Structure 1
Amino acid sequence: MNILYLLSGTSIFIITTVDIIKTTLSTKGGGVITNRISRAVWKLFFSMSGQNGKSTALEFAGPAVLIVVLLVWIIGLWAGFFLLLLSDGNSIINSTTRENAMALEKLYYAGFTLSTLGVGDFVASSSSWRILTSSMAFTGLVFITTSITYFLPVLSAVNLQSNLSLYISSMGRTPQEMVIKSWNGGNFSSFFDCVPNMCQMLIKHTLNHHSYPIIHYFHNKEPKQAIIVQVVMLEEVYYLLRQVVSTEVTLDEVKMTMLRTALDTYFSLVKKNFIQEETSQKYPPSPELAPLLQSGIPVKQEASINQGNGQQQQDNRNILTALLGSDGWSWQEVYPTKDIVG
């Protein structure tokens, strides 16, 4: 009995099994292996795209992450069982000649056992190895099936992500346009009518994001369908309503609180798990207020706006800068050049 092969095979099999269970059956996010592989694949595609959010290459990053993770799980289970078989030179024999199987034959045996093919040209040599073989066959059936079915809720979460992006972008191409279109001369009731649906979708997306971190790497090269661009857009609408629009205008405070809570929950999640550097731009841009004034929307004096932009607000907008950059975008997608000052 080769102890090194035995310990190595057991360790690899257990680590792979734990990662599969943590990723597919837990609501606490992906396993350590899955998360590291996901980041590595994303970095590869991000580098290949030149860190450009409009690159077609980035649209393949999400599917590539899923495929690579599945392959790593299969290889991990296969390698673990193979090393266990190697630990005993007499573990597997040829069913016809009764001779001990060679290393490549054991690799073949481990593969067809985990895939439950049951070819039968090689068999276990003893009761203990037959029991282990049966256990591995059940394990392969359960875990490989579970791994493949894991794709379904992930793709469903990606679909919700796309729906939310289009929902937000349908309200306007810029934050100023969203505010202007919802202005009825006295308040922003049409915007607040949409807030409950947006908050519900955003909270569900955040929960999906927590359960299936892989969806973070599903990218759309169109800004209006890019979830990060659109959530930042929504954050900027909140900023305009809270910090820029005059206090003479009555806001629906209940729905403003709902929106703030939904946005904070999302940003807290992505900041903790996906933002490596908090800012690559010292001073995020300030929105141009002329379109609001031209539409008759009362705004605060510049001094009052600056006073409201404290350190906390600046830190929040730095996080937005880093979040946009992490997906290959910039403030240009939120505010076209003509809508930015400073």
Structure 2
Amino acid sequence: MSEALLRVAGGALVLLAAYDLYRTVLLPRGRGGPVTRGVCRGVWGGASRGGDRLMAHAGPLTVVLGVAAWGALLVVGFALATWPALGEGVTASGDADTPTDFLAALYYSGFNLTTLGTGDLVPRTDAYRVLMIAEAAVGFSYLTLALTYVMSVYDALHRRNAFALGLHQRTGDSGDAAAYLAGTLPGPTAATSQDLTTLSTGLARLFEAHHFYPVLHYFRLPKPRYAMARILFVTLDAASLIRSAPDGPDAETLAESAAVEALWRAGLRPVHELAPLFLPDRASDGATDESDRDRWRAHYDRAAATLRAAGVACRADDAGFARYAAQRAEWDAVVRRFAAFMGYDWDAIAAPGVPG
């Protein structure tokens, strides 16, 4: 390969790494950079074939390999740009012979990128002195951005897990929205609205975190209570039940309140905006069939019975279920796809031992 082509190839790799860092760290919105996306899909594709134990390591491996990929692209890119100059523009210090193989170029590039410098290979021309300074500056920026990225991802993961656990505890550790509503609807409407607003705010933060750092999707904990599918199922099911099952003036006022509307929209936002970026094709998001409605009916009847047992007046079954089915048709298919893609059994997501 000619010297010009080596330099062009090296520059292209450096630009690819810089672009990916920019899209993933400095402009973290939606998909991330092409290298990061490839690492995410590659790691998850392998981990998803290995069961729960291997999938639990997909998120950390994706972060580590993504950061390593940026570094590798930068080191190899600058090495390709420097390789033709070994023995002329870059030589060994003193009277030692200058190695001219690619490993020597990698060695020189790696030391420059990590800002350590090297005493046995030194630039002899102004152009390569400037290149060494530029690589050191890029390396310092890369290390700083990579550290910031890792810290941000794990901070967002901590907040996601805390929100998921808090939501799980609201359901009495059952993962059942009806259990949550049975504990809150008999109380003052203002208190219920306040708690629903807290949930919608948490969902908005969750959405933004996953939109900023798509790698969060690949952090899969074995316990379903931490799954995105469980979070969406409980919150959207709660909003759907509030709008359909309870009866009476107070119930109607709550169903039409800003708090319920905020919870509903906050739950649907990941369904509409994150799913197209993260999940495979949407072929399974078709019209509901009779088996879906039977499953929803069983779930609604059990939820209404739970609410009645807690002293909440509920609509007649047919009227209430018609409202519930219209609400659930907007989110059920995508939430089930979230669960399937992340390797969760649907029965574990839709409350253990409860028809979902």
- Both structures adopt the same fold (TM-score exceeding 0.5): yes
The correspondence of residues 190-339 of structure 1 with structure 2, limited to 5 A, is 190-246=191-247, 248=249, 249-252=251-254, 253-278=257-282, 279=284, 283-284=291-292, 285-286=295-296, 287=299, 288-289=302-303, 290-308=305-323, 313-336=328-351, 339=354
SS of 2:91's equivalent?
strand
Query: Matched residue pairs, number?
Result: 335
TM-score (norm 1): 0.89
Question: How far does residue 247 in structure 1 lie from its aligned partner after superposition?
Answer: 5.3
Letter in 1 for 2:347: Q
Q: 2:35 aligns with which of 14, 33, 36?
A: 33
The answer (yes or no) to whether the contact 1:4–1:87 under 8 Å persists in 2 is no
SS of 2:29's equivalent?
coil
Q: Which shows bigger deviation, 296-305 or 75-84? A: 296-305
- In structure 1, C-alpha distance between the alignment counterparts of 2:157 and 2:237, rounded to whole Å: 23
Q: Which shows bigger deviation, 129-138 or 87-96? A: 87-96
The answer (yes or no) to whether the contact 1:160–1:201 under 8 Å persists in 2 is no
Counterpart residue number, 2:80: 83
- In structure 2, C-alpha distance between the alignment counterparts of 1:334 and 1:149, rounded to whole Å: 33
The answer (yes or no) to whether the contact 1:164–1:227 under 8 Å persists in 2 is no
Identical residues among aligned pairs (%)? 20
Letter in 2 for 1:118: G
Identify if the C-alpha distance between structure 1 residues 13 and 138 changes in structure 2 by more than 3 Å, giving closer, same or farther.
same
SS of 1:123's equivalent?
strand
- In structure 2, C-alpha distance between the alignment counterparts of 1:335 and 1:224, rounded to whole Å: 10
The answer (yes or no) to whether the contact 1:206–1:269 under 8 Å persists in 2 is no
Asked if 1:64 corresponds to 2:61, the answer is yes
Counterpart residue number, 2:145: 146
- In structure 1, C-alpha distance between the alignment counterparts of 2:321 and 2:198, rounded to whole Å: 32
Q: Which shows bigger deviation, 98-107 or 267-276? A: 98-107
Letter in 1 for 2:160: Q
Q: 1:74 aligns with which of 60, 71, 76?
A: 71
Q: Which shows bigger deviation, 66-75 or 39-48? A: 39-48
Identify if the C-alpha distance between structure 1 residues 336 and 24 changes in structure 2 by more than 3 Å, giving closer, same or farther.
closer
- In structure 2, C-alpha distance between the alignment counterparts of 1:315 and 1:193, rounded to whole Å: 25
Identify if the C-alpha distance between structure 1 residues 315 and 87 changes in structure 2 by more than 3 Å, giving closer, same or farther.
farther
Counterpart residue number, 2:156: 157
Question: How far does residue 12 in structure 1 lie from its aligned partner after superposition?
Answer: 0.8
C-alpha distance after superposition, 1:280-311 (max 9, x if no partner): 89654311343233334333333324533567
Gaps of 5+ in 1: 50-54
Identify if the C-alpha distance between structure 1 residues 301 and 338 changes in structure 2 by more than 3 Å, giving closer, same or farther.
farther
C-alpha distance after superposition, 1:219-256 (max 9, x if no partner): 22122233431231111111111123335523421111
The answer (yes or no) to whether the contact 1:61–1:217 under 8 Å persists in 2 is yes
TM-score (norm 2): 0.86
Identify if the C-alpha distance between structure 1 residues 300 and 314 changes in structure 2 by more than 3 Å, giving closer, same or farther.
same
Question: How far does residue 128 in structure 1 lie from its aligned partner after superposition?
Answer: 0.8
SS of 1:101's equivalent?
coil
Question: How far does residue 214 in structure 1 lie from its aligned partner after superposition?
Answer: 1.2
Question: How far does residue 97 in structure 1 lie from its aligned partner after superposition?
Answer: 2.6
C-alpha distance after superposition, 1:241-282 (max 9, x if no partner): 112333552342111111112112222232121121443896
SS of 1:250's equivalent?
helix
Counterpart residue number, 1:52: none
Letter in 2 for 1:330: D
Q: Which shows bigger deviation, 79-88 or 280-289? A: 280-289
Q: Which shows bigger deviation, 322-331 or 113-122? A: 322-331
- In structure 1, C-alpha distance between the alignment counterparts of 2:23 and 2:195, rounded to whole Å: 36
Identify if the C-alpha distance between structure 1 residues 338 and 209 changes in structure 2 by more than 3 Å, giving closer, same or farther.
closer
What is the alpha-carbon root mean square deviation over aligned residues? 2.4
Question: How far does residue 159 in structure 1 lie from its aligned partner after superposition?
Answer: 0.9
Counterpart residue number, 2:117: 118
The answer (yes or no) to whether the contact 2:161–2:226 under 8 Å persists in 1 is yes
Identify if the C-alpha distance between structure 1 residues 61 and 191 changes in structure 2 by more than 3 Å, giving closer, same or farther.
farther
Identify if the C-alpha distance between structure 1 residues 334 and 294 changes in structure 2 by more than 3 Å, giving closer, same or farther.
farther
- Runs of 4+ displaced beyond 6 Å: none
Counterpart residue number, 2:95: 97
The answer (yes or no) to whether the contact 1:223–1:230 under 8 Å persists in 2 is no
C-alpha distance after superposition, 1:36-87 (max 9, x if no partner): 21122122212211xxxxx233222111111000110010001101111124
The answer (yes or no) to whether the contact 2:178–2:306 under 8 Å persists in 1 is yes
Q: Which shows bigger deviation, 92-101 or 172-181? A: 92-101
The answer (yes or no) to whether the contact 2:243–2:323 under 8 Å persists in 1 is no
C-alpha distance after superposition, 1:144-179 (max 9, x if no partner): 221122111111111110111011111112112112
Identify if the C-alpha distance between structure 1 residues 204 and 71 changes in structure 2 by more than 3 Å, giving closer, same or farther.
same
The correspondence of residues 130-141 of structure 1 with structure 2, limited to 5 A, is 130-141=129-140
